[in-house]
């Protein structure tokens, strides 16, 4: 339903003039809103620059981390992946080979009861019982009843299946993370109870003690699929014999982790070799992160005077000059480089194009440095006085909590806050101005209406007098 004000506006012949006057008076607000949009665009652009700088910094940090061996990575192979799988060589210092023979893999301890008729009652005849079970570091005492309420208050014997189910339930409740108990239907009539440790090895074997009643009957007939003294893995490396409770081994050879897959009994060769392809990829990632930063800044600081176009951050010299300063830093030598040592990025084949893009100018030179002088190449990225370290330090001056970008964002926030207040004031002024104009036009309409009424009265009088 239309409000009275809406009805009046629709019928008021001067409403369009009121709106036109308000639009003219709104020009200062529109200018403020345009300025607000520009500042928000600059703030968004600063966020994109900050993100690209952080990517560049994080890339350098990762490449400079000694443990990553970014320019001396190793690739590992196993001559028989079905027997031994290599997981990690992060701690291996250099190329090496080991011969391993898997004699036995680590197994879970599985205990099986005797086979019995599921609907029989032999177990119930033994009466309620208890047993202490130890698996790993955990020991629990379990009690099982052999009778149940038939629903009328009368106690009756449980079937063999029901007794075994009760035993399995208690084990699951107490050993949820250490063991799994199941009752298997072997056929239409026979069942068998299974108890399995969920961790491999002798230390996690199933140990039974203090069994009484029905649980003495069940556990006394346990047979183990694997002899408990053979639950640990057994393998030899270069003639040295090892035993481990698990199949993933990371403490036999420092820095090497591998998994025993099967006991083949045959010698498997584990080889660690230099991975030049990965080392080249790491160089490429450094170049890519710099170029991403360079493009982000260029896209937001360009000036196209011919078409009167410019990037959102074109007037921010500190942002505009960052990649130029980084390029200049990249051309400098490492101050503490020894005689004949690599000191510049140009000495490993890296250069810059006219648009500021970093690229590999000499692939053969880079390949040579990665192959023959990886230690010196690594120093270009990791040494505190290195060219790359100084590039990182310069980039960090922009992204730290009180850095250049934070200062620029704070300045924009202050400007936006002031603009918000001015727009709010304009809204209040325009609301009042619109009401004032409408009141003036209403008063004018009233004067016209009174004049029209008086004129009509005069005309009526003259008509009545015959004029």
Please indicate whether residue 393 or residue 91 has the higher confidence score (pLDDT). Answer: 393
* Least confident residue range of 29-43, 152-166, 215-229, 279-293: 29-43
pLDDT of residue 445: 79
**DSSP 8-state code for residue 291:** H
pLDDT of residue 11: 52
Average pLDDT over residues 22-28: 89
d(CA 67, CA 59) in angstroms, rounded, equals 15
Averaged pLDDT of the chain: 91
pLDDT of residue 454: 86
Q: What are the CA-CA distances from residue 453 to residues 8, 11, 154 (Å)? A: 21, 19, 107
* Helix, strand or coil, per DSSP, at residue 417: helix
Residue range 407-464, pLDDT digits in tens = 999 999 999 999 999 999 998 988 898 888 888 888 887 888 888 888 888 888 888 8
Query: pTM for the full model?
Result: 0.68
Assign 4 a pLDDT band (cuts: 50, 70, 90): very low
Residue range 57-101, pLDDT digits in tens = 999 999 999 888 899 888 999 999 999 999 998 888 888 999 999
pLDDT of residue 446: 84
User: What phi and psi, each to the nearest 5 degrees, are found at residue 111?
Assistant: -110, 130
Going along 261-317, which residue ranges are E strands?
A: 267-274, 303-304, 309-310
Residue range 281-311, pLDDT digits in tens = 999 999 999 999 999 999 999 888 888 888 8
pLDDT of residue 463: 83
Burial of 82 (0-12, 13-18, 19+ CB in 10 A): exposed
pLDDT > 70? residue 2 = no
pLDDT > 60? residue 3 = no
d(CA 49, CA 299) in angstroms, rounded, equals 10
Assign 146 a pLDDT band (cuts: 50, 70, 90): very high
d(CA 261, CA 212) in angstroms, rounded, equals 40
d(CA 84, CA 261) in angstroms, rounded, equals 5
Residue range 106-131, pLDDT digits in tens = 999 999 999 999 999 999 999 999 99
Orientation angle between helical segments 404-464 and 15-25, nearest 10 degrees: 150
pLDDT of residue 9: 46
> Can you give the residue ranges of every domain in the chain?
1-71+275-467, 74-106+232-274, 108-230
Average pLDDT over residues 49-63: 96
Contact 84, 261 (CB under 8 A): yes
Over pLDDT 90: what percentage of the chain? 72
* Helix, strand or coil, per DSSP, at residue 303: strand
pLDDT of residue 253: 94
Contact 131, 215 (CB under 8 A): yes
**CB environment 372-392: b (16+ within 10 A), e (fewer):** ebbebbbbbbbbeebbbbbbb
């Amino acid at each position: 339903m239309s409000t009275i004000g809406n009805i009046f506006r629709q019928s008021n012949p001067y409403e369009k003039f009121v709106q036109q006057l308000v639009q003219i008076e709104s020009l200062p607000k529109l200018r403020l809103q345009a300025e607000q949009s520009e500042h928000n665009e600059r703030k968004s652009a600063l966020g994109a620059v900050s993100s690209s700088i952080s990517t560049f910094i994080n890339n350098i940090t990762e490449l400079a981390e000694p443990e990553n061996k970014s320019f001396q990575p190793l690739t590992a192979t196993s001559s028989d992946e079905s027997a031994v799988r290599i997981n990690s060589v992060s701690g291996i210092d250099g190329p090496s080979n080991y011969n391993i023979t898997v004699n036995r893999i680590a197994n879970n301890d599985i205990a099986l009861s005797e086979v019995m008729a599921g609907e029989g009652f032999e177990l119930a005849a033994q009466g309620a019982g208890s047993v202490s079970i130890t698996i790993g570091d955990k020991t629990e005492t379990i009690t099982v009843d052999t009778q149940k309420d038939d629903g009328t208050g009368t106690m009756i014997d449980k079937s063999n299946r029901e007794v075994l189910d009760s035993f399995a339930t208690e084990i699951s409740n107490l050993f949820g993370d250490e063991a799994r108990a199941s009752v298997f239907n072997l056929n239409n009539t026979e069942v068998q109870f299974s108890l399995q440790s969920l961790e491999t090895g002798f230390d996690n074997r199933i140990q039974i003690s203090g069994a009484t009643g029905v649980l003495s009957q069940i556990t006394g007939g346990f047979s183990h699929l694997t002899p408990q003294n053979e639950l640990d893995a057994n393998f030899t490396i270069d003639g040295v014999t090892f035993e481990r409770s698990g199949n993933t081994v990371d403490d036999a050879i420092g820095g090497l982790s591998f998994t025993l897959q099967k006991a083949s009994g045959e010698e498997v060769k584990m080889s660690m070799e230099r991975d030049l392809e990965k080392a080249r990829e790491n160089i490429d990632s450094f170049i890519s992160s710099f170029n991403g930063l360079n493009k982000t800044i260029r896209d937001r600081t360009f000036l196209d005077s011919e078409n009167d176009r410019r990037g959102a951050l074109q007037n921010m010299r500190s942002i505009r000059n960052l990649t130029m300063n980084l390029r200049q830093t990249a051309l400098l030598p490492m101050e503490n480089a020894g005689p004949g040592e690599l000191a510049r990025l140009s000495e490993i084949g890296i250069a810059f194009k006219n648009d500021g893009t970093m690229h590999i100018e000499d692939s053969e030179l880079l390949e040579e440095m990665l192959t023959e002088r990886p230690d010196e190449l690594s120093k270009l990225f990791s040494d505190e006085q290195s060219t790359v370290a100084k590039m990182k330090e310069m980039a960090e001056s922009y992204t730290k909590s009180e850095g250049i970008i934070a200062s620029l964002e704070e300045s924009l926030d202050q400007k936006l806050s002031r603009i918000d207040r001015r727009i709010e004031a304009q809204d209040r002024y325009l609301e009042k101005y619109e009401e004032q104009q409408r009141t003036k036009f209403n008063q004018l309409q009233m004067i016209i209406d009174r004049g029209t009424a008086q004129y009509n009265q005069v005309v009526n009088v003259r008509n009545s007098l015959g004029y």
